[in-house]
């Protein structure tokens, strides 16, 4: 009976099993008028069920069942009700504790008690109340099976016998370990190591098959790896002997639905193919961390239907793109999700699917053949599973979809009629060919302009090349507005990369107008996204969100190219979200962006950028371990991929080093950042601004490790590199680097040197109109003034900082909170207790509470704010807060304490 007929029979049986027998024939005849085979099967099942209910065995076991049920209702497990089990003697062993429970009984950890030698074993005991003939027969069969199996990877039989009350027991080798799947994941084993362990399991199963034993219940929980790393196969409790010696045992179907083969579900004759199917399921989980049949409602019936009716998902397709759980699964295999999918695609897909075929005869002929194919894959040899796979899939399809196959024959005829349409498509292709040739001619003209022979030896800059391209574009691609728009946007993006805003603006506007006229929604959205970049670089970031909202509303994320634009739009939102302290929103947006992107190589840079933004936000939220999990797979892929753009590795190393530093793994973080510097210097040259940025990150990492002198040296080198790249005094990177150097000097208490660097940073940031760096430099300069007792200067810098940052920063942003706290501290130094007015104290309390809601609630800023709020409730001269604050805050606290004491 095939799967569809069996499901039909099963559903009809479930419908009628609890109804009166008198109505069976009429209902079955009505439902199965077209299929006598299903009708006979349903009636046979119904009669068998009725006969089972009348067997004496049921009557004999009913009292025991009632006793056990009563014990459960009273809240006492049957195992607990059996007095004396813990510490009870069984043969030469003493029971220590229960370590497992199954359908027939319990498994106990036991120790040898006869004093002959020390030994720990696992003792199996039949559960009370169910020692009926069938269960006893199964128990004796397991003992006989284990006695005949001698293999280093099968838990062997140690002893056996009968207890004083007549129950049989088995003493088995005790394995102190964890199941194979968990063992591999906890050690992040790669695919090759997992396959080697799987081959060990195959050898053990093959040994059993050679002795005519079918396990019938292979699953991860029955395969343990001990602390010594040795794999052991357990639990032959429902194993079957193929030579007929278990004929006295009833044919009751016993299996785990999630790991059952189709023939087990259908109740057919079982062969070694059952274990081959189970090994296929095990290999599937080892490779991709999921099951091939994911049921919406994980009930035994749902799993049975899935096993019978559904084809398994290919392992390489089981990990959905952008799936967070999939990323964690790939990380357990020391791979990125995309790399894992590539490794599984092909041989491993074919091997697993061959083992999981519905018909036993279509699977591997033996476990040894299965293992040999895995070995061929490891040896990079052709695997047998990929032979004949097309014929198998075709036969399965035709059997399941006979009607659809007939209709497909009709479709072939229709396809022939469609040849005329193909001719029309050829004409369209010719038009596209002409367009491509025109685009190629345009690109050739650009390279001709770059040729020194045409330039008479003059050097051609990137700006010169772009300008020449724009001039050529005025007459290029006539009538090809869409292709022309793509090229114009590419050149506009390049201009923005060079910060040539005036040159980019008209190109973007031209593309936007053309796209609107042609109702080209995707290109219009792309133009608006570039306009956002333009406005952001022009120091008008508030214009960005409306443009991005409109752009995203025009795009269909189901289209790969448009999904990429949506992801790029999400990346452009990050800076504004960070300014508003909305790091949870950053996490959500970046996860959405990663989910939208596919595995295409051209999207790699954007995917790494999104992952880096995600990791940065997680660090700010105090979740550095999660940030590491996001980036570690990328680092593994980028290091192993010789063809990758090295710039991706530089960025990933820098961001991941920050995560490791936050986790306290400072030596790893420092080594990682030095690696990033080495790669950047080889890639860009030793004087490039990118190298300066890497030194900046190294200084921050060294500072986090408490190696302040090394941090200062690294930061001074970054400042020197930024000075070399200064152009006309407008270099915000130099302003940022000077401020960072000043922060380190403040920590060394070199306040005069710090003040000099801050003065220069303030002036540079003001000229560059870079408000974020200007506000930060003003705040640190206010700190230095306050430490020196120059409260008027500190108050002036604090007020100026608030004016600069207020348009772009929320009131609850860290920077704004620090500015308000510093203003209150200046007032306390000037006025002592008189400054602690009711409004001032209310604001101090609000600042302290706001800091407690930020990810930096345990940092020096938050503790300083809490100290200032505490002064409002204290009438005695204040003491130093504990634990000690950062050095600059400690100096300010000392001045506040002196001012407070003097005023009293």
pLDDT digits (tens, 9 = 90+) for 281-311: 999 999 999 888 765 555 666 667 777 777 8
Could you read off the pLDDT of 636-677 as tens digits, one per residue? 778 776 544 566 788 888 888 988 988 889 999 999 999 989
Mean per-residue pLDDT, 407-418: 48
pLDDT at 410: 45
Mean per-residue pLDDT, 775-801: 91
Mean per-residue pLDDT, 621-637: 86
CA 109 to chain centroid: 38
Mean per-residue pLDDT, 709-738: 81
Place of tokens 């999207």: 603
Looking at 28-42, 135-149, 227-241, 266-280, which range is the least confident one?
135-149
Looking at 134-143, 336-345, 768-777, which range is the least confident one?
134-143
pLDDT at 790: 92
Backbone angles phi, psi at 577, to 5 degrees: -65, -35
Look up residue 579 and give its two tokens: 């300014």
Mean per-residue pLDDT, 383-392: 61
More confidently predicted of 321 and 825: 825
Residues 236 and 223: their CA atoms lie apart, in Å, by 11
Mean per-residue pLDDT, 789-805: 89
pLDDT at 732: 61
Question: Of 359, 336, 283, which is closest to residue 314 (Cα–Cα)?
Answer: 283
CB distance 99 to 23 below 8 Å: no
pLDDT at 294: 66
pLDDT at 141: 67
Look up residue 460 and give its two tokens: 């051609």
Helix, strand, coil shares of the chain, percent, nearest 5, are 65, 5, 25
Q: Residue 281 to residues 286, 392, 834, 903: CA-CA distances in angstroms?
A: 9, 19, 76, 79
Look up residue 184 and give its two tokens: 């591999």
On the 0-12 / 13-18 / 19+ scale of CB atoms within 10 A, 792 is exposed
pLDDT at 374: 94
CB distance 272 to 213 below 8 Å: no
Place of tokens 């014929």: 391
CATH superfamily of 177-386: Transferase(Phosphotransferase) domain 1 (1.10.510.10)
Ranked by mean pLDDT, the top range of 113-127, 228-242, 449-463, 671-685 is: 671-685
pLDDT at 265: 81
Residues 76 and 115: their CA atoms lie apart, in Å, by 34
DSSP state, 170? E
Question: Of 263, 298, 262, 258, which is closest to residue 281 (Cα–Cα)?
Answer: 258
CB distance 139 to 125 below 8 Å: no
3-state secondary structure 707-722: CHHHHHHHHHHHHHHH
For the cut 80, the answer to whether the pLDDT of residue 435 exceeds it is: no
Residues 702 and 708: their CA atoms lie apart, in Å, by 7
On the 0-12 / 13-18 / 19+ scale of CB atoms within 10 A, 451 is exposed
pLDDT at 255: 65
For the cut 80, the answer to whether the pLDDT of residue 545 exceeds it is: yes
CA atoms within 13 A of residue 405's CA, in its CB half-sphere: 9
For the cut 90, the answer to whether the pLDDT of residue 200 exceeds it is: yes
Ranked by mean pLDDT, the top range of 38-47, 421-430, 588-597 is: 588-597
More confidently predicted of 386 and 584: 584
Looking at 37-51, 334-348, 442-456, 652-666, which range is the least confident one?
442-456
Q: Residue 541 to residues 402, 547, 572, 809: CA-CA distances in angstroms?
A: 61, 11, 10, 12
DSSP state, 878? P
pLDDT at 205: 93
Looking at 52-66, 178-192, 586-600, which range is the least confident one?
52-66
More confidently predicted of 540 and 529: 529
pLDDT at 833: 85
Examine domains 177-386 and 623-711 and report if their fold is the same. no
Place of tokens 């090759």: 192
Mean per-residue pLDDT, 830-855: 85
Q: Residues 438-443: contacts with CB within 8 Å, 24+ apart? A: 438/476, 438/477, 438/478, 438/480, 438/483, 439/477, 439/480, 439/483, 439/487, 441/476, 442/469, 442/472, 442/473, 442/476, 442/477, 442/487
Could you read off the pLDDT of 494-509 as tens digits, one per residue? 778 777 888 888 888 9
More confidently predicted of 127 and 837: 837
Percent of the chain with pLDDT over 70: 75
Residues 826 and 786: their CA atoms lie apart, in Å, by 7
Which residues contact residue 270 at a Cβ distance below 8 angstroms, ignoring those fewer than 6 apart? 214, 216, 240, 263, 264
The confidence band for 196, taking pLDDT boundaries of 50, 70 and 90, is: very high
CB distance 739 to 750 below 8 Å: no
pLDDT at 334: 85
pLDDT at 488: 83
In this structure, whether the domain defined by 85-174 belongs to CATH 3.30.2350.10 is answered with no
- Cis omega (within 30 of 0) on the bond before 322? no
Residues 481 and 489: their CA atoms lie apart, in Å, by 12
For the cut 60, the answer to whether the pLDDT of residue 752 exceeds it is: yes
Within 336-480, where are the H helices?
337-344, 347-355, 367-378, 389-400, 402-417, 419-450, 452-455, 462-473
For the cut 80, the answer to whether the pLDDT of residue 413 exceeds it is: no
pLDDT at 156: 82
pLDDT at 117: 81
> Which run of H or of E encompasses 90?
strand 89-90
In this structure, what is the dihedral angle of CA atoms 595, 599, 601, 607, given to the nearest 10 degrees? 20
Buried b or exposed e, range 275-297, using 16+ CB within 10 angstroms: bbbbbbbbbbbbbbbbbbbebee
pLDDT at 286: 94
Mean per-residue pLDDT, 28-49: 82
The confidence band for 250, taking pLDDT boundaries of 50, 70 and 90, is: very low
For the cut 50, the answer to whether the pLDDT of residue 78 exceeds it is: no
CB distance 625 to 663 below 8 Å: yes
Ranked by mean pLDDT, the top range of 131-145, 374-388, 581-595 is: 581-595
For the cut 70, the answer to whether the pLDDT of residue 541 exceeds it is: yes
pLDDT at 877: 58
Buried b or exposed e, range 651-675, using 16+ CB within 10 angstroms: bbbbbbbbbbbbeebbeebbebbbb
The confidence band for 137, taking pLDDT boundaries of 50, 70 and 90, is: low
Residues 580 and 587: their CA atoms lie apart, in Å, by 14
Backbone angles phi, psi at 20, to 5 degrees: -60, 145
**Given 185, 203, 217, 246, which residue is catalytic?**
217
Residues 614 and 597: their CA atoms lie apart, in Å, by 15
Residues 879 and 894: their CA atoms lie apart, in Å, by 9
How high is the mean pLDDT of the chain?
78
CB distance 709 to 721 below 8 Å: no
Could you tell me the sign of the dihedral formed by the alpha carbons of 653, 658, 659, 662, in that order? positive
Q: Degrees (nearest 5) of the Cα angle 778, 783, 788?
A: 125
The confidence band for 778, taking pLDDT boundaries of 50, 70 and 90, is: very high
Could you read off the pLDDT of 547-585 as tens digits, one per residue? 999 988 998 888 888 888 999 999 888 878 876 778 899
Residues 613 and 209: their CA atoms lie apart, in Å, by 54
Q: Is 219 annotated as a binding residue?
A: no
Domain locations along the chain: 3-54, 85-174, 177-386, 418-531, 555-618, 623-711, 810-903
pLDDT at 2: 58
Ranked by mean pLDDT, the top range of 384-393, 405-414, 737-746, 892-901 is: 737-746
Q: Is 467 a catalytic residue?
A: no
pTM: 0.47
Question: Of 616, 602, 596, which is closest to residue 645 (Cα–Cα)?
Answer: 602
Percent of the chain with pLDDT over 90: 17
On the 0-12 / 13-18 / 19+ scale of CB atoms within 10 A, 619 is buried
The confidence band for 759, taking pLDDT boundaries of 50, 70 and 90, is: very high
pLDDT at 695: 92
DSSP state, 291? -
CB distance 565 to 555 below 8 Å: yes
pLDDT at 862: 85
The confidence band for 807, taking pLDDT boundaries of 50, 70 and 90, is: confident
CB distance 577 to 585 below 8 Å: yes
Residues 222 and 232: their CA atoms lie apart, in Å, by 8
Question: Of 629, 628, 650, which is closest to residue 639 (Cα–Cα)?
Answer: 650
Question: Of 248, 250, 277, 267, which is closest to residue 352 (Cα–Cα)?
Answer: 277
- Please name the CATH architecture into which domain 623-711 falls: Alpha Horseshoe (1.25)
The confidence band for 341, taking pLDDT boundaries of 50, 70 and 90, is: confident
More confidently predicted of 151 and 461: 151
Mean per-residue pLDDT, 195-201: 95
On the 0-12 / 13-18 / 19+ scale of CB atoms within 10 A, 759 is middle
pLDDT at 241: 60
The confidence band for 369, taking pLDDT boundaries of 50, 70 and 90, is: very high
pLDDT at 901: 76
The confidence band for 224, taking pLDDT boundaries of 50, 70 and 90, is: very high
The confidence band for 450, taking pLDDT boundaries of 50, 70 and 90, is: very low
For the cut 60, the answer to whether the pLDDT of residue 379 exceeds it is: yes
Backbone conformation region of residue 664, classed left if phi is above 0, alpha if psi is from -120 to 50, else beta: left
For the cut 50, the answer to whether the pLDDT of residue 446 exceeds it is: no
Q: Residue 866 to residues 798, 852, 882: CA-CA distances in angstroms?
A: 19, 9, 11
CB distance 722 to 695 below 8 Å: no
Which residues contact residue 540 at a Cβ distance below 8 angstroms, ignoring those fewer than 6 apart? none
The confidence band for 148, taking pLDDT boundaries of 50, 70 and 90, is: confident
């Amino acid at each position: 009976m095939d799967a569809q007929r069996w499901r039909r029979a099963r559903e009809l049986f479930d419908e009628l099993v609890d109804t009166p027998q008198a109505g069976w024939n009429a209902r079955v005849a009505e439902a199965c008028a077209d299929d006598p085979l299903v009708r006979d099967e349903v009636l046979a099942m119904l009669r068998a069920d009725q006969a089972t209910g009348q067997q004496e065995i049921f009557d004999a076991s009913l009292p025991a069942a009632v006793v056990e049920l009563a014990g459960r209702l009273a809240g006492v497990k049957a195992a607990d009700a059996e007095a004396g089990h813990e510490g009870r003697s069984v043969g030469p062993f003493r029971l220590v504790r229960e370590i497992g429970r199954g359908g027939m009984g319990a498994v106990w950890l036991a120790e040898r008690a006869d004093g002959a030698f020390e030994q720990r074993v696992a003792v199996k005991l039949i559960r009370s109340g169910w020692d009926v003939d069938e269960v006893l027969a199964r128990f004796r069969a397991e003992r006989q099976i284990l006695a005949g199996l001698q293999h280093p990877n099968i838990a062997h039989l140690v002893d056996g016998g009968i207890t004083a009350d007549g129950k049989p027991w088995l003493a088995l080798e005790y394995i102190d370990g964890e199941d194979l799947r968990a063992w591999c994941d906890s050690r992040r084993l790669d695919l090759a190591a997992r396959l080697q362990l799987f081959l060990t399991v195959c050898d053990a199963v093959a040994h059993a098959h050679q002795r005519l034993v079918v396990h019938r219940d292979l699953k991860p929980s029955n395969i343990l790896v001990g602390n010594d790393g040795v794999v052991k196969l357990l639990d032959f409790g429902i194993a079957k002997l193929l030579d007929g010696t278990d004929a006295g045992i009833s044919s009751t179907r016993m299996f785990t639905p999630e790991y059952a083969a189709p023939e087990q579900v259908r109740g057919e004759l079982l062969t070694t193919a059952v274990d081959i199917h189970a090994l296929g399921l095990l290999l599937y989980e080892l490779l991709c961390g999921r099951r091939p049949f994911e049921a919406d409602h994980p009930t035994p019936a749902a799993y049975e239907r899935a096993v019978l009716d559904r084809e398994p998902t290919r392992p390489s397709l089981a990990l959905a793109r952008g799936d967070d759980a999939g990323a964690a699964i790939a990380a357990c295999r020391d791979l990125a999700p995309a790399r894992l999918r590539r490794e599984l695609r092909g041989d491993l897909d074919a091997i697993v699917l061959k083992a999981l075929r519905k018909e036993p005869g279509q699977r591997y002929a033996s476990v040894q053949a299965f293992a040999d194919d895995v070995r061929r894959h490891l040896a990079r040899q052709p695997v047998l599973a990929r032979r004949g796979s097309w014929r198998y899939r075709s036969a399965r399809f035709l059997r399941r979809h006979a009607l659809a196959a007939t209709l497909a024959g009709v479709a072939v005829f229709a396809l022939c009629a469609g040849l005329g349409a193909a001719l029309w498509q050829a004409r369209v292709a010719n038009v596209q060919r002409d367009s491509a040739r025109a685009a190629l001619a345009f690109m050739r003209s650009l390279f001709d302009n770059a040729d020194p022979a045409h330039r008479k030896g003059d050097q051609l800059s990137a700006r010169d090349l772009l300008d020449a391209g724009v001039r050529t574009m005025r007459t290029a691609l006539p009538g090809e507005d869409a292709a022309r728009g793509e090229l114009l946007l590419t050149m506009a993006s390049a201009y923005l990369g060079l910060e040539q805003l005036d040159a980019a603006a008209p190109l973007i506007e031209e593309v936007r107008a053309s796209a609107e006229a042609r109702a080209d929604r995707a290109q219009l959205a792309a133009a608006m996204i570039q306009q956002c970049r333009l406005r952001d670089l022009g120091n008008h970031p508030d214009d960005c969100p409306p443009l991005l909202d409109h752009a995203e509303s025009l795009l269909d994320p189901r289209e790969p190219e448009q999904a990429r634009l949506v992801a790029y739009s999400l990346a452009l939102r990050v800076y504004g979200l960070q300014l508003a302290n909305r790091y949870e929103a950053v996490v959500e947006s970046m996860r959405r962006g990663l989910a939208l992107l596919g595995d295409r190589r051209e999207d790699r840079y954007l995917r790494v950028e999104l992952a880096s933004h995600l990791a940065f936000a997680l660090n700010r939220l105090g979740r550095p371990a999660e940030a590491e999990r996001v980036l570690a797979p990328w680092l593994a892929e980028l290091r192993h991929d010789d063809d990758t753009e090295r710039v991706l590795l530089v960025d990933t190393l820098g961001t991941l080093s920050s995560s490791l530093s936050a986790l306290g793994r400072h030596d790893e973080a420092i080594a990682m950042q030095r690696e990033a510097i080495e790669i950047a210097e080889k890639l860009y040259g030793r004087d490039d601004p990118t190298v300066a940025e890497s030194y900046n990150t190294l200084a921050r990492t060294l500072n986090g490790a408490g190696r302040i002198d090394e941090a200062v040296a690294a930061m001074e080198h970054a400042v020197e590199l930024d000075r070399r790249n200064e152009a006309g005094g407008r270099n915000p990177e130099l302003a940022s680097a000077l401020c960072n150097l000043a922060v380190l000097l403040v920590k060394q208490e070199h306040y005069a040197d710090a003040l000099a660097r801050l003065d220069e940073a303030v002036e540079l940031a003001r000229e560059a109109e870079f408000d974020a760096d200007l506000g930060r430099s003003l705040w640190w300069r206010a700190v230095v003034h306050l430490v020196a007792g120059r409260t008027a200067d500190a108050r002036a810098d604090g007020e100026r900082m608030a004016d600069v940052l207020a348009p772009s920063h929320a009131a609850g942003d860290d920077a704004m909170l620090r500015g308000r706290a510093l203003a209150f501290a200046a007032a306390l130094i000037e006025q002592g207790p008189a400054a602690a007015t009711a409004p001032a104290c209310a604001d101090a309390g609000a600042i302290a509470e706001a800091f407690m809601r930020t990810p930096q609630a345990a940092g020096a800023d938050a503790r300083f704010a809490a100290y200032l709020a505490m002064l409002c409730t204290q009438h005695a001269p204040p003491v130093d807060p504990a634990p000690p604050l950062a050095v600059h805050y400690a100096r300010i606290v000392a001045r506040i304490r002196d001012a407070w004491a003097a005023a009293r």
